[in-house]
Amino acid sequence: MKYTLIGAGGIQARGLLHDLLDFSSATEILLADVAAGPLEQRIDDLGGDPRMSAVAIDLRDLAASVEALAGTHVLIMAGPSPLGRYAMDIALGLRCHYVDLGGAYADTEVQLARHEEFAEAGLIAVLGAGSAPGMTNVMARAGAERLDTVRDIEMTVAMNDLTERSSPFHWPFNLAAIIDEYESSAVAIEGGERVLIPPRTGEWVEFPPPIGRVFPIYTTHPEPESLYRSFRQQGLENASFRIAMPAAFHRQMDFLASIGMTKQTKIEVGGVEVSPAEVLVEATKWIPRPAEKEEQYSATRVIVRGARRGETVEVELYMCTGSHEGWNVPAGMLKTVVPPSIVAEMIGNGVIATPGVWLPESSVPFQEFFEELALRGMVIETTERRASTIDVAR
């Protein structure tokens, strides 16, 4: 079985490769990116496993990419999400299956429109198979399966970082993406309609240890719209996504946003047009980010509320994981890179077998998925509450 990882030089790809090497049935793993040199170094850093090899490709050159990646059974796209359409072209050219980590819902809609192409070719594509989207979607499916009708789906990702940092400002993932979370209005589904929620809307809540007190804010993620697409026939009316950064980092970001440093509108400074957000990103490049031993925790909570046999029921699915000590992969990233590796293996082994382009909640069998997560120490806990113990008016 040959797996190809596009974007293999990226920060997320390192953890994904660790999981493929340790858990998959791959006999070959081809690392592909715009330059082969850094990929060779990555292979060395990962112990030089003979199953790995490297190749340089240009995603926009379809013919050359298909030739370079020949023999691939499952193609995993870990590069920038707007380039997913090129990666899907390559998968069709290779006659291989496809998995990606997801992106904006507008991009997902374009990809979903290729369902018939993949179905007619006998190929499977699973979109948004990371943490969020990805794990959140499968957890939502597991909750919905317990109910006759579904009214609400609420998703929250929360983080805590206990790492002893040597720098005064440490961002848990891509800073430009975090800035967008704090500056942009969030999309949610309310009463079956797409609504915008002002930036940084949230509240302080208490999560179980080791997460603790955090401030989840509503953010623009594809899940509310994609899950509404998947579950509206079951009655879904409301869907939302929130994310909580580590509390100390949130206070820093909230302050920066409050003084305008996350604004993306350009202003003139000394005769040069630049946005405050661009200045912030450039300024933080000078902050050292040494390879410290990570002690980060990340939790995913999905609440599905609806009815079963006429009674209001709330199903909560919860998973919390720490950083991977052996791989030195922080918790938030670990949750992102493990799911696509599991999904790729499910496709490769025939567990996911129906051709076409699918969202995770429509294609990934949740029980088998949860079992694979548990093998990696990522255990999903499920709790039910009945009408007598929940606020049915929410």
Asked if 211 contacts 157 with a C-beta cutoff of 8 angstroms, the reply is no
Cβ neighbours for 68, distance < 8 A, ≥ 6 positions apart: 32, 55, 56, 57
Confidence of residue 336 (pLDDT cuts 50, 70, 90): very high
Question: Residues 205, 265: one domain?
Answer: yes
What whole-number distance in Å separates Cα of residue 6 and Cα of residue 178?
Answer: 24
Question: Residues 346, 381: one domain?
Answer: no
Question: Residues 249, 179: one domain?
Answer: yes
- pLDDT 10s digits, 62-105: 999 999 999 999 999 999 888 999 999 999 999 999 999 998 89
Question: Residues 23, 77: one domain?
Answer: yes
CATH at 194: 3.30.360.10
Domain count of the fold of the chain: 2
Does position 118 have pLDDT exceeding 60, yes or no? yes
Confidence of residue 389 (pLDDT cuts 50, 70, 90): low
- pLDDT 10s digits, 285-306: 888 877 677 789 999 999 999 9
Torsion of CA 202, 208, 211, 215, to 10 degrees: 10
Of the candidate ranges 239-243, 325-329, 333-337, the one whose mean pLDDT is the lowest: 325-329
If DSSP codes are grouped into helix, strand and coil, which group holds residue 151?
Answer: strand
Strand pairing of 381-386 and 311-322? Answer: antiparallel
Question: Residues 117, 19: one domain?
Answer: yes
Question: Residues 358, 379: one domain?
Answer: no
If DSSP codes are grouped into helix, strand and coil, which group holds residue 226?
Answer: helix
Asked if 280 contacts 197 with a C-beta cutoff of 8 angstroms, the reply is no
Question: Residues 327, 340: one domain?
Answer: no
User: What is the per-residue pLDDT for 151?
Assistant: 98
What whole-number distance in Å separates Cα of residue 155 and Cα of residue 224?
Answer: 9
Q: Is position 154 within any domain? A: yes
Domain of 41? 2-130+336-365
If DSSP codes are grouped into helix, strand and coil, which group holds residue 243?
Answer: strand
Query: b/e per residue, 203-232, with b = 16+ CB within 10 A?
Result: eeeebeeebeebbbbbbbbbbbbbbbbbbe
- pLDDT 10s digits, 21-54: 999 999 999 999 999 999 999 999 999 999 999 9
User: What is the per-residue pLDDT for 394?
Assistant: 37
What whole-number distance in Å separates Cα of residue 239 and Cα of residue 152?
Answer: 6
What whole-number distance in Å separates Cα of residue 297 and Cα of residue 208?
Answer: 11
Residues 139-152, mean pLDDT to the nearest whole number: 98
Asked if 34 contacts 57 with a C-beta cutoff of 8 angstroms, the reply is yes
Question: Residues 36, 113: one domain?
Answer: yes
CATH at 68: 3.40.50.720
Percentage of the chain modeled with pLDDT above 70: 98
Q: Is position 394 within any domain? A: no
What is the overall mean pLDDT for the chain?
94
Q: Is position 170 within any domain? A: yes
Q: Is position 209 within any domain? A: yes
Does position 198 have pLDDT exceeding 90, yes or no? yes
Confidence of residue 171 (pLDDT cuts 50, 70, 90): confident
Question: Residues 74, 99: one domain?
Answer: yes
